[in-house]
Chain A
Amino acid sequence: DGGITQSPKYLFRKEGQNVTLSCEQNLNHDAMYWYRQDPGQGLRLIYYSQIVNDFQKGDIAEGYSVSREKKESFPLTVTSAQKNPTAFYLCASSIAGDEQYFGPGTRLTVT
C-alpha cells in the first residue's frame, strides 16, 4: 500500500475533545502533507513539512496542529478550536515537489 499508513481508519469523538491522527511512512521521503477532504470536494492543504522539525501552514491550518520530530512520522492534532472537524483526512509524502503518495485516510466524525 505504498509505504504510508494512517490510523485509525475511522475515528469518533465528542465535540470539545482534541484528537490526534497518525501518519507514518517508510519511503524515506523528506516531505509530508496533511489534507482535508469534505464530501464531494477537493483536497485542501492543512499543513506540510519539508524537513524534520520544520513545517508550514497550508490553506486551512486554523484549529489544527502538527509536529515533525521524526522523518517517518507527521501526526495531526484536530483541536477543539476547529469549528467543523468532521471530514476525511489524507496524509501524503513525497520527494519534495514530486509525486505524492497518499495514505488510506482517516474518516473523523465529531458529534
Chain B
Amino acid sequence: GENVEQHPSTLSVQEGDSAVIKCTYSDSASNYFPWYKQELGKRPQLIIDIRSNVGEKKDQRIAVTLNKTAKHFSLHITETQPEDSAVYFCAASLGYSSASKIIFGSGTRLSIRP
C-alpha cells in the first residue's frame, strides 16, 4: 500500500536560519501533498499544500517543492522564528478519488534555538 517516509524525525535550527523537511511517497498516482503543523497538545493544522500539476508553491516564509519523477517533496521554512517550533507532518493522497485517504508521514519535531 501507499507509504510516506519523512526525514528527519527531529530538527534543531538557530533562529533566523532555514529548515528543510523531506518526504518520499510510494504511490505514483498520488497527486495531493499537504503539510500540517501540530503544536503541543493541539490539533494538526494545514500550513501549505501542493498538487501534482505544479512543482513549487510559496506562502511567505514557507515553500513546498515537488519532484514527481523522484516521488519526493519537501517543506522549506526560511527565517525561522520561535513560533515555528512544532511537529510537522507531510502527507500524500490520491486527491479527489472516492476511495482515497490521506497517508501521513511519521512527523518531524522542529525546535528553534534562540
Q: Which of B16-24, B55-63, B67-75, B98-106 contacts A (4 or more CB under 8 A)?
A: B98-106
B107: contacting residue among A42, A95, A102, CB under 8 A: A42
A99 to chain B, nearest CB (A): 5
Q: Is the CB of A42 within 8 A of B106?
A: yes
**A85 proximal to B (CB < 8 A):** no
Q: Is the CB of B105 within 8 A of A99?
A: no
Q: Is the CB of B99 within 8 A of A50?
A: yes
Q: How large is the interface on B (under 10, 10 to 19, 20 to 34, 35 or more residues)?
A: 20 to 34
Chain A residues within an 8 Å CB radius of B109: 40
A42: contacting residue among B43, B49, B89, B95, CB under 8 A: B89
- Of chain B, the residue at the smallest CB distance from A102 is B43
With A43-B44, A103-B43, A105-B43: A97-B105 Cβ-Cβ less than 8 Å: no
With A33-B101, A42-B104, A42-B105: A98-B89 Cβ-Cβ less than 8 Å: no
B100: contacting residue among A40, A97, A102, A104, CB under 8 A: A97
Question: How many residues of chain A have a CB within 8 Å of chain B?
Answer: 21
Interface string of A9-52 (1 = CB under 8 A from B): 00000000000000000000000010000001111010010100
Interface residues of B (CB under 8 A from A): 32, 34, 42-46, 49, 89, 93-102, 104-107, 109
Contacts beyond the supplied A42-B106, A96-B98, A104-B42: 17 A-B pairs with Cβ under 8 Å: A33-B101, A42-B105, A42-B107, A45-B101, A48-B101, A50-B99, A58-B101, A90-B43, A90-B44, A96-B96, A97-B100, A97-B102, A98-B95, A99-B34, A100-B102, A102-B44, A103-B43
